[in-house]
């Protein structure tokens, strides 16, 4: 599991099956409405995508932080209509909660 901590001290925890959506700003035409473009959707274990998840790295926090640095905002969970949309710049830290000893 991975814990994402925000600048205001709140945090969220995700596991390898949690669906994560990433969005980028797509509001570059002043004649059209403001809009976000879906950039990425998958889980760490890749169950939501048609190909291997880009979040699957040797260290889960590295994949998640790379994702956060690549998008403008993101949301967690399958219910995109009722989920909170988080601004990526509001993230303070990402840490692994599972400890493995070799």
Whether 90 is covered by a domain: the verdict is yes
pLDDT, residue 100, reads 58
Q: Say what percent of the chain tops pLDDT 70.
A: 91
pLDDT, residue 44, reads 81
> CB-side exposure of 74: number of CA atoms within 13 Å?
28
Domain total for the chain? Answer: 1
99 pLDDT exceeds 70? no
Domain that holds residue 46: 2-96
Whether 60 is covered by a domain: the verdict is yes
Q: In Å, how far are 59, 94, 102 from 90, measured between CA atoms?
A: 22, 12, 34
75 pLDDT exceeds 80? yes
Whether 101 is covered by a domain: the verdict is no
pLDDT, residue 59, reads 84
pTM of the model: 0.83
Whether 25 is covered by a domain: the verdict is yes
Per-residue buried b or exposed e for 16-50, using 16+ beta carbons within 10 Å of the residue's own CB: bebbbbbbeeeeeeeeeeeebeebbbbbbebebee
């Amino acid at each position: 599991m991975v814990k994402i901590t925000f600048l205001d001290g709140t945090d969220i925890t995700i596991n390898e099956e949690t669906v994560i959506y990433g969005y980028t700003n797509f509001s570059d035409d002043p004649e059209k409405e403001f809009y976000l473009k879906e950039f990425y959707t998958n889980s760490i274990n890749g169950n939501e995508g048609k190909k291997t998840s880009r979040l699957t790295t040797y260290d889960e926090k590295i994949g998640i932080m790379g994702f956060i640095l690549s998008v403008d905002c993101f949301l967690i969970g399958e219910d995109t209509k009722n989920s909170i949309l988080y601004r990526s710049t509001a993230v303070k830290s990402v840490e692994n909660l599972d400890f493995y000893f070799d």
